[in-house]
Chains A and B, each alone.
Chain A
């Protein structure tokens, strides 16, 4: 059995994780859970990059790219959580539906 030794298995797994993250981002209204869903999507993309990089045995550009995605994701989470704290200080809520100060 070739489970885990074919590229297709990783493509399927990564797309399932990405879809779960996308659905979570759309369905949940808690900003913290939405940020976690974004992390899920970024992780799925990382997995896909590394899996495709495994096809090219003489090159590690995919792993380098995944490394930079991890760095950007860490920066994004830091700034995102700071914005959540700022929103909570302003409106005393963590629901993205109630962050509508620009609407009126």
Chain B
């Protein structure tokens, strides 16, 4: 078995385990770790498909930014992010099961008639998928969508800040503010004998 096959097996196992972990874990932090596993596995598959630039981008953007953003929001929401609803509509589960069945059937029907004429990959030039060649294509053929993507990112950042900041509605009580001094553990607060912080006069 070649090293490429071993890498393919390892990465696809990582992808599948991570994806199942995202769906079935009750703790969203574990779901985020499952998403990270899937992303790293897909980055390995990108390497196998001679897309080195995309593998690096995948690790930087997804594993480095998106998963961290998820974990930030999970930490910000605290225990409330762990909400699980048991009485989820049965219709959703039935629809999803039927969808999965149709999808599996469709893929099998598309692949099975050609089971004797598989499509192996042709050998590829060493600069396929490198930073230089993909970057050259981005700045020639894809210059218009590239510029549009920069505009989209700017708009998304401004929109995210505007939505997440919210606005203060006068006369409407928000969530109760916690005393920030109570978040600190250590010598900042006087403590009683059992180690719990004493009440601080506001």
Chain B residues with CB under 8 Å of chain A are: 1-2, 4-5, 7-9, 12, 15-16, 19-20, 22-23, 28, 31-32, 34-35, 38-39, 42, 45-46, 48-51, 53-54, 57-58, 61-62, 65-66, 69-70, 73-74, 76-77, 80-81, 83-85, 88, 92-93, 95-97, 99-100, 103-104, 107, 111, 118-125, 128-129, 133-134, 137-138, 141-142, 145-146, 149, 152-153, 155-157, 159-161, 163-164, 166, 174-175
Contact = CB atoms under 8 A, between A and B. Distances in A.
Nearest to A59: B137
Given A4-B9, A50-B46, A70-B57, 8 more contacts: A7-B119, A11-B107, A23-B99, A26-B99, A30-B84, A36-B31, A40-B19, A67-B57
Ranked 8 nearest A-B pairs via Cβ: A4-B8, A75-B156, A24-B23, A82-B164, A26-B96, A82-B163, A3-B5, A82-B160
26 contacts: A1-B1, A3-B1, A9-B12, A10-B49, A17-B15, A19-B103, A26-B96, A28-B88, A33-B31, A36-B34, A50-B54, A53-B49, A54-B51, A54-B121, A57-B125, A64-B137, A66-B51, A68-B146, A70-B58, A70-B62, A74-B61, A74-B65, A77-B70, A79-B156, A85-B76, A86-B166
Contacts of B100: 19, 22-23
Contacts of B83: 30, 93-95
Given A10-B45, A43-B42, A74-B153, A63 B51 contact: yes
Contacts of A47: 42, 45-46
A85 B28 contact: no
Interface of A: 1-13, 15-24, 26-30, 32-33, 35-37, 39-40, 43, 46-47, 50-51, 53-55, 57, 60-61, 63-64, 66-68, 70-79, 81-86, 88-89, 92-95, 97
A16 B16 contact: yes
B96 A85 contact: no
Contacts of A30: 28, 81, 83-85
Contacts of B80: 88, 92-94
A26 B121 contact: no
Name the prevailing secondary structure of the B interface residues: helix
Name the prevailing secondary structure of the A interface residues: helix
A69 B152 CA distance: 12
B108 to A, nearest CB: 9
Given A2-B120, A3-B5, A4-B4, A78 B160 contact: yes
